[in-house]
Structure 1
Amino acid sequence: MIQARCLVILIFAMVITNCARITPDPAGPVPLSKNKILVVNSNHSLPRYQLAENGFMEALAGKDIVTLDLNNDERPTEQLLDVLNTQQFAAIYTIGAKALGSVDYIDPAAQVIYSSVLSWRQFQSRDNYFGVASEVAPHAQMTWFKYFFPQLKRIGVIYSEDNAGLVKDGERFANQLGIELVSAAVTKVEDLPRIADQLLQKVDALWVLPDPVVLKSESSTKLVFDLAHRRQRPVFAYSSLFMELGATLSINADLATTGRQAAVITQTLLEQQQPESHVQFPAGSSISLNLLKVGEYQLDLNTDALGSVNELLTQ
């Protein structure tokens, strides 16, 4: 179970690379709808992706929407290309990295809305791409960390260049809460064991980010958690999937709300208006807490915070 779920996380974290584009076939008339929307789901069988799609569909009930599930499709671009060659869409909502990568590969000029993509930062400067980030805003995460464990003074974070901006924001918010965010940059996964172990000796807890180097593979992800456990340091994460790997606390994006946010962005674009920003952080969140880890690491937990927990692990 742990291995399977870890692989799911790593699929989310894969970096979408640019490559040769496939252009939709212009031959023949393509029916035009100014309000038709295409929803491309990387894998509808995954509950987290289902929640996002359901939230989107409910918010735009009555709209002309076509759905496409890329689950178990070894050649997703071919299936998508068939749809794009026969219909024209005003906007495309993609859920997950596979869906976004397929759309970007075929038609990078399309008007795209996305969610559940960890590598969203590489798309934030694209004029025609709008999305909801995969993680809760740094200031919200830091606030929850402080609320649950008020005695923590130093939180460590390992990051690559992709997350430099996020870490900088995190440092500012942490300082406002009386927390020192101790950061360690990594460029190669081969350096991760040394950098992680050195950092864990300096901090009270480790904050895990959706990072393409730190979470490059199943082995690198497990390594970070194993080192933290060996040093008796709690891990704070951004997805409940990490709880099975040993995270102590996770501040998770509410995926149904994420889908509704994507729907609002889509509606704004259909009305020929510009969204406030190209990327929004999730408006809703849920919290997972592992009480076994709290006891094992002898952490000073604010018991008043237990009322905010959505998922409590006690065994």
Structure 2
Amino acid sequence: MERGAGLSTTSSPLASVHDLVMLDLDGVVYVGPDAVPHAAETIGALATPVAFLTNNATRSATDVAEHLRSFGLELADDAVVTAGQVVADLVLREVGDGAKVLLAGAEGMRSALEALGLVVVTSAEDEPRAVVQGGVIDVCWSELAEASFAVSAGVPWFASNPDTTFPTPRGLAPGNGAFVQAVALATGREPVVAGKPSTPIFDEARRRTGAGSPVMVGDRVDTDIDGATAAGIDAMVVLTGVTTLADVLEIPPGHRPAYVAADLRGLGQPHPEVVVDGSRATCGDAVAEATDGLIRVSGAEPDSVPGLRAVVALAWASHDRGDDVSVEDVRMGA
């Protein structure tokens, strides 16, 4: 099946049929300082190598790796691929070693730029050869203003990622993309983007690992799933971060993940075939039926892999033929 068109099937545990598992971090492995339930034990049990891909340029790869190791995970620093690292490499190729770069971003983005020999400046009057936005912690209006002045003057503009939000323990907060949009509105220009859904971050993970058949797991369709599809990579969406089940049901053809699971435990499970027949879908023991526009699940927990696959396949088939359905009465388990 063409990527983005609908659900794929595997009779073996999903991770075992790939040579690399790419994991988004915020909303997939952790939210704020805390691990997502079941994430650490699932990752620790995988036999397949893991790379951690994050659009969040707020922290350095070393800091992120230390955070992951605090959950009991064993990994080297270079298992973490940050959009900050990738955008810094793009900037270096554009302007060369030792060039001045105007940063509107966090310390993690600064360290990624300086690690490559670039000189970070704070004013458009410093004659920067590039502008970079990455990371959102403590970004202030004056930084956005200086970035806008330089971008308006024609200085090449780069962004680590376009995420307008990111999940925190208190809810969704503005992401780097929200600040990028502010500069875009002020200047009428658009930046070169390194992180998901752009492909450079996927290319870097494959370069580091030599992987030929990776699978990407994320919580955002517009970055993780769309980016994987553009890079020719199978993707699984999980429901532990930004995307809800209701959101998944509304995904149009061309943007649909190959797999769906409540959390990372879906990596260790098969994803059985789904058979859709009119207003009914069957996946293993799970049966999803649409009655009066509502989908109900029987035979399996609605948040199990078979239950979710039955619900999602039925909803997509219904939407594709013009029928409206919802899952208001399906309760996701803890």
Question: TM-score if structure 1 supplies the norm length?
Answer: 0.30
Question: TM-score if structure 2 supplies the norm length?
Answer: 0.29
The structure that is helix-richer by fraction is 1
